[in-house]
Structure 1
Amino acid sequence: MSETRKPREKTSGRGHPLPFWLVGTAVVLVALNLRPGTSSVGPVLAELQAGLGLDATAAGVLTALPGLAFAAVGALAVALSRKTGINGSIVLALAAAAAGLLVRSFVDSAALFLVLTVLAFAGMAVGNILVPAFIKRHGGRHLPVLNSVYGTTLALGATLPLLFGGLLAGTGPEGWRLSLGLWGAVALAAFIFWAVLALRAGRDPVAAAGGTRTRTRMRSSRTAVALSIFFGVQSMHAYVQFGWAAQIYRDAGLEQAHAGLMAAIIAGLGIPGGLIMPVLVARSPRLRTYIVGLGVCMAAGYSGLLLAADTLPWLWALFLGVGGFAFTTALALITARSREPLVTAQLSGFIQPVGYLLAAAGPFAIGTLHDVSGSWTLPLALLIASTVVMVGAGIRAAAPRFVDDELEAAKRPAIAS
């Protein structure tokens, strides 16, 4: 089966076709708001703890919440879309994100802050699952472009709070509130835009059709299972790097600002990755070779941190950042390996909860191993080994097959030979 085979999409229903500029703007606005809620806390964590009286345990819970919320709520996103449609569900998601992020920046209660954070992350979780289905529904011949826009904007949304969070927090004693609340205002603007778009486009019927049987059968697709493993392992690596890369550099002797810069390089390289990988997924016949290359880069970056983190630290950051292109590769494969938008939504809802469970457990496990062993040797060795799993699953997921076909084949009774 050719990699360039055109998907067949449903066009019937009450939803109205949207012009490309409107679809592109909608994707940018929602993608920009799916990561700042997670990355904006790190630069102001010390001020946040002091302002709300958060102890170390509560701070640990706060850093684990994104992965846990994305996994738990993301699993329910497809069911929500069957009731309100893709467009309506994304509007509700942005409303939850905006309310949670805005209100939490004003509260003085640590418990209420955590509750509002969960609300915001719940909205982001729904967006994570359903935006690929929206892109599949409205992308048409612009699908690779929209996937690039989506992946790039996700990386931009994760990087901007890292770059500006400290500056905004330094504006005064309550500057950390401004640093956090800004992203709630950005989410509010996106919510208003999407609410108008949903009124114009109508209730998208694609995700509302059908039942839950495809979701329960998704494990019968080898491509879906491989993609869930690929997405899960790369998510674990991403969140380990967000949480621990700077500290590994500091423990090796780098100053705080220098270590922070290395972490920003790793995160910032997701921006060109978002531009490059969706195009390669859509058009390149050598995709599996590129996936092997991403794994080699990731292993090389961890090896550099293990053997000589303070020697050429920027090189190890570059290797890890390029290895992180696996994230946008996985996102692009969700749409590239499914035909119908409904299957795209269900595939997204199948693989992303797995990924974010690993994203929540990974940083905790790596930190625990470091505490137990007293060094970064064992954690980094395990991370290097896990790249082999990621590459193996990625090679299988990149094979030119469609999940739709595998699901249909699983429905047919086996024929005795």
Structure 2
Amino acid sequence: MPPSPAGPPAAPPTSTEGPTTPITPAAVVTTADPAVPGTAGARAPGWLLVLAGMLLVALNLRAAMTSLGALLDEVRVGLALSGTMAGIVTTLPAVAFAGLGAVTPWLVRRLSPSRLLVLAMLALTVGQLLRVLTGSALVFLFTSALALAGIAVANILLPMLVKQHFPGRTGLVTGAYTMALTVGATAAAATAVPVSHAFGSWRAGLGVWAGLAAVAVLPWLPAALRARPAPARTGRAAGGVARVRIRPARTRLGWAMAIYFGTQSLSAYAIMGWLAVLFREAGFRPQDAGLLLAGVTALGVPIALLMPTLAGRLGNLRPLVFALTAASTLAYLGLALAPRGGAVLWVVLLAFGQGAFPLILATIGLRARTADGTVALSAFAQSMGYVIAALGPLLVGILHEVTGGWSGPIGFLLAALAVQTAAGMVIARPRYIEDER
């Protein structure tokens, strides 16, 4: 049985593997950052700064995307984007998260977590600023990719930091930062259109979030300046104990986690990128369509806090997996058949169905015994998962442009949901990635 959120982590297993083994994203070793309050050797009150820093980072992890989703029509007109090009824009998050997620464990080997988070938030800040200053679609794509690169690195680091600093409260802290992530996404979706109208340009509705990213740098700056250089790459941990190589790509659990993460992300990014457009085409005003999109994330706030706690307490996650699938299925069918008449109900059901995201984030920590296992599983599940997720917004955009309606895109999302449910049955059973080596 996995440990409850209040339980202590199990002792890490040992291995006889030598020091010359190459490091890959699926076989990464993490070390405590002595400069970060809350790690080994730091004073107890330091955990408050770590938690505050994590929550500020989490607030930024979706704002750059949901603000774009709410203003996608304005951006399409302003930059003369075709439907396919708009699909590429909405696919960028998944592509960036897949590529940068795979190399983040390599970066962790060479930079302290605090320095890595500072660089990630600076990339997000600069990228968001530059993309609203250009009139070129190509430059907009590249600067958006820079911003998303910062988000990609932070995505991988947060589960690792939870395991390192709060091993006895995995579910609770995961729920807290997932809730902060959801609050940031909700605020961005709800205010992007009003801000753009107030300033007379969609650029203001996107660019304002660079300020929040800049604030997220501040809690990590003192620790980043004091951080010691990363330790030399060896195959042994402190005390001469051989480090464990964990390869999720060689396990059934690792692939199931990646598929579940990927299919739920596919649906999430398709919703963030296109739901407001669907509601506009159903007859809603732009402001109301943005509020409906914000409603999905707003209603997800309590779900984001509750879902990791439930996951930590349940021995088997199948009831949660089936409940989330049922809610998403009803929402998709409703959007296809009566997008205007039942809009509020579909938003509520979508919000519950999107609880798959905090569920899989919590499950990453619950299916690993150690911080090493957590970062290996997080990197593999997210990097491979986002490769899958990259198909979502792109195919939805193409299908919508080809068919001129929403039945085709929604049919595609229902097929992805079936795959997600099958993978969920595999990850639902209690097990640890270290035991499947």
What is the TM-score normalised by the length of structure 2?
0.83
| Alpha-carbon distance in 1 for matches of 2:167, 2:256 | 26
What is residue 97 of structure 2 aligned with on the other side? Answer: 70
- Secondary structure (helix, strand or coil) at the match of 2:112 reads helix
Q: Contact (CA 8 Å) 1:234, 1:390: kept in 2 or not?
A: yes
1:401 correspondence with 2:401: no
Following superposition of structure 1 onto structure 2, how do residues 256-405 of structure 1 map, counting pairs within 5 Å? 256-405=286-435
> Any gaps of 5 or more consecutive residues in structure 2?
13-29, 39-45, 237-241
Q: Contact (CA 8 Å) 1:71, 1:352: kept in 2 or not?
A: yes
Deviation at 1:350, TM superposition (A): 0.4
- Secondary structure (helix, strand or coil) at the match of 1:113 reads helix
Deviation at 1:138, TM superposition (A): 0.5
Deviation at 1:378, TM superposition (A): 3.6
Q: Contact (CA 8 Å) 1:85, 1:205: kept in 2 or not?
A: no
The aligned amino acid for 1:137 is Q
Q: Contact (CA 8 Å) 2:127, 2:146: kept in 1 or not?
A: yes
| Alpha-carbon distance in 1 for matches of 2:256, 2:129 | 38
- Secondary structure (helix, strand or coil) at the match of 1:401 reads coil
Instruction: Select the residue among 133, 138, 141 that pairs with 2:165.
Output: 138
Deviation at 1:202, TM superposition (A): 5.4
What is residue 207 of structure 2 aligned with on the other side? Answer: 181
What is residue 415 of structure 1 aligned with on the other side? Answer: none
Q: Contact (CA 8 Å) 1:233, 1:386: kept in 2 or not?
A: yes
| Alpha-carbon distance in 2 for matches of 1:252, 1:46 | 14
Alpha carbons of structure 1 residues 323 and 85: separation in structure 2 relative to 1, 3 Å: same
Q: Contact (CA 8 Å) 1:235, 1:359: kept in 2 or not?
A: yes
Q: Contact (CA 8 Å) 1:49, 1:59: kept in 2 or not?
A: yes
Q: Contact (CA 8 Å) 2:190, 2:291: kept in 1 or not?
A: no
Deviation at 1:24, TM superposition (A): 1.5
Deviation at 1:371, TM superposition (A): 3.9
1:15 correspondence with 2:45: no
Alpha carbons of structure 1 residues 143 and 116: separation in structure 2 relative to 1, 3 Å: same
Show CA shifts across 1:198-236 (max 9, x none): 346756879997799946x31222222111111111111
Instruction: Select the residue among 107, 112, 118 that pairs with 1:80.
Output: 107
Alpha carbons of structure 1 residues 123 and 270: separation in structure 2 relative to 1, 3 Å: same
The aligned amino acid for 1:196 is P
Q: Contact (CA 8 Å) 2:73, 2:277: kept in 1 or not?
A: no
Q: Contact (CA 8 Å) 2:194, 2:287: kept in 1 or not?
A: no
Deviation at 1:179, TM superposition (A): 2.5
Show CA shifts across 1:27-72 (max 9, x none): 1111111112222223334544555565666544322211111111
The aligned amino acid for 2:416 is S
Instruction: Select the residue among 143, 152, 168 that pairs with 1:116.
Output: 143
Deviation at 1:256, TM superposition (A): 4.4
The aligned amino acid for 2:127 is G
| Alpha-carbon distance in 2 for matches of 1:252, 1:101 | 30
- Secondary structure (helix, strand or coil) at the match of 2:116 reads helix
Deviation at 1:352, TM superposition (A): 0.9
What is residue 22 of structure 2 aligned with on the other side? Answer: none
> Any gaps of 5 or more consecutive residues in structure 1?
408-417
Question: Which structure features the higher share of helix residues?
Answer: 1
Q: Contact (CA 8 Å) 1:32, 1:157: kept in 2 or not?
A: yes
What is the TM-score normalised by the length of structure 1?
0.87
| Alpha-carbon distance in 1 for matches of 2:154, 2:233 | 14
- Secondary structure (helix, strand or coil) at the match of 1:311 reads coil
1:248 correspondence with 2:275: no
| Alpha-carbon distance in 1 for matches of 2:404, 2:193 | 30
What is residue 163 of structure 1 aligned with on the other side? Answer: 190
The aligned amino acid for 2:338 is A
The aligned amino acid for 1:197 is A
Alpha carbons of structure 1 residues 116 and 250: separation in structure 2 relative to 1, 3 Å: closer
**Bigger mean CA deviation after superposition, 190-199 or 376-385:** 376-385
Count of residues in Structure 1 that have an aligned counterpart in Structure 2: 405
The aligned amino acid for 1:85 is S
**Bigger mean CA deviation after superposition, 96-105 or 106-115:** 106-115
What is residue 179 of structure 2 aligned with on the other side? Answer: 152
Instruction: Select the residue among 146, 150, 156 that pairs with 1:129.
Output: 156
Q: Contact (CA 8 Å) 1:97, 1:122: kept in 2 or not?
A: yes
Deviation at 1:147, TM superposition (A): 0.4
**Bigger mean CA deviation after superposition, 244-253 or 385-394:** 244-253
| Alpha-carbon distance in 1 for matches of 2:399, 2:381 | 27
| Alpha-carbon distance in 1 for matches of 2:181, 2:64 | 12
The aligned amino acid for 2:335 is L
Q: Contact (CA 8 Å) 1:75, 1:349: kept in 2 or not?
A: yes
Indicate the RMSD between aligned Cα atoms, in angstroms: 2.9
**Bigger mean CA deviation after superposition, 317-326 or 365-374:** 365-374
Deviation at 1:25, TM superposition (A): 0.2
Instruction: Select the residue among 217, 221, 225 that pairs with 2:251.
Output: 221
The aligned amino acid for 2:172 is V
Instruction: Select the residue among 203, 208, 220 that pairs with 1:194.
Output: 220
Q: Contact (CA 8 Å) 2:87, 2:398: kept in 1 or not?
A: no
Deviation at 1:193, TM superposition (A): 1.8
Q: Contact (CA 8 Å) 1:232, 1:355: kept in 2 or not?
A: yes
| Alpha-carbon distance in 2 for matches of 1:279, 1:206 | 37
Q: Contact (CA 8 Å) 2:256, 2:424: kept in 1 or not?
A: yes
**Bigger mean CA deviation after superposition, 112-121 or 160-169:** 112-121
Q: Contact (CA 8 Å) 2:49, 2:219: kept in 1 or not?
A: no
- Secondary structure (helix, strand or coil) at the match of 2:358 reads helix
